[in-house]
Amino acid sequence: MSDSSWPTEWLRGTLTLAVLRILADGETYGYAISHRLEAAGFGSIKGGTLYPLLARLENAGLVEVTWRAGEGGPGRKCFTLSPAGCEEYSRQRAQWLAFAEHTTDFLKDPS
């Protein structure tokens, strides 16, 4: 199944966890997050979707923001998981894996 075939509601439901997953690898910026999501099969995530999500994570204390000087261009807003963000990622990851296993088992059984 190509990424363009995923139902929108599935993507909306998993995008926050996917962004937390990327941020768990270390500091990065929005454009790089968008490219990693696309490479991972989530499709093209527009800035109008990604940046409000990152702002919500920042407002919730899950993400810390710093500005880095750009190489020959404007500076970049970089995002890093806060300690609370690391805990939240671990919690959501465990919940998602259990939910996905439960759902998969349920869908396999026709009764």
How high is the pLDDT of residue 4? Answer: 57
Domain boundary assignment for the chain: 3-108
Helices 8-23/30-39 angle, 10° precision = 120
**For each of the chain's 111 residues, which pLDDT tens digit applies?**
444 578 889 888 899 999 999 999 999 999 999 999 999 999 999 999 999 999 999 999 999 999 988 777 788 899 999 999 999 999 999 999 999 999 999 999 776
- Interatomic CA distance for residues 61 and 83, integer angstroms: 9
DSSP lists the bridge partners of residue 108 as none
> Which string of b and e fits 87-96 if b means at least 16 CB within 10 Å?
ebbeeeeeee
Q: Which CATH architecture has domain 3-108?
A: Orthogonal Bundle (1.10)
